[in-house]
Amino acid sequence: MAGTSGVRLVNTFDLFRSMYPAPMLLQKPDSMPGRPALSRRDFISGSALLTLAAATHGCSTLETSGPREPIIDIHQHVGYHERTNTALLAHQRAMGIKKTILLPAGRPVNSSSTNNGASNGLEAKCLGNQECYEFAKAHPKEFTFGANEVPDIPETVQEIEKYLKLGAVVIAEQKFRVECDSPQMQRLYELAAEYRVPILMHWQFKRYNYGFDRFHKMLEKYPKTVFIGHAQTWWANIDSSYQDDAANLYPKGKVTPGGLTDRYLRDYPNIYGDLSAGSGLNSLKRDEEHGAAFLHRHQDKLIYGSDCADPAGTLDTCQGAQTIAEIRRLVPESKVLRKLFYDNAMRVFRL
Instruction: Report the interface residues with Zn ion, using CB under 5 A.
Output: 173, 307-308, 310, 318, 320
Shortest Cβ 112–Zn ion spacing (Å): 21
Shortest Cβ 99–Zn ion spacing (Å): 16
Shortest Cβ 90–Zn ion spacing (Å): 11
- Residue whose CB is less far from Zn ion, 58 or 332: 58
- Residue whose CB is less far from Zn ion, 240 or 317: 317
Shortest Cβ 8–Zn ion spacing (Å): 15
- Residue whose CB is less far from Zn ion, 18 or 204: 204
- Residue whose CB is less far from Zn ion, 22 or 327: 327
Shortest Cβ 175–Zn ion spacing (Å): 7
- Got the DSSP string for 108-150? ---SGGGTTTTTGGGGTT---HHHHHHHHHHSTTTEEE-B---
Residue 208 DSSP SS3: strand
- Residue whose CB is less far from Zn ion, 262 or 310: 310
Rounded to whole angstroms, the Cα distance separating 257 from 335 reads 24
- Residue whose CB is less far from Zn ion, 281 or 318: 318
Residue 81 φ then ψ, to 5° = 45, 40
The answer to whether the beta carbons of residues 80 and 121 sit under 8 Å apart is no
Residues in the chain: 351
- Residue whose CB is less far from Zn ion, 22 or 197: 197
Select from 41, 136, 133 the least CA-distant residue to 89: 136
What strand order describes the sheet that includes 227-230?
Answer: 171-174, 199-202, 227-230, 271-274, 302-303
**Secondary structure letter of residue 223 according to DSSP:** T
Shortest Cβ 177–Zn ion spacing (Å): 16
The helix/strand count (H/E) of the chain reads as: 14, 8
Shortest Cβ 25–Zn ion spacing (Å): 26
Q: DSSP H helical segments within the chain, as ranges?
A: 12-17, 40-57, 85-94, 129-138, 156-165, 183-194, 216-221, 232-236, 260-267, 277-285, 288-297, 319-330, 334-338, 344-348
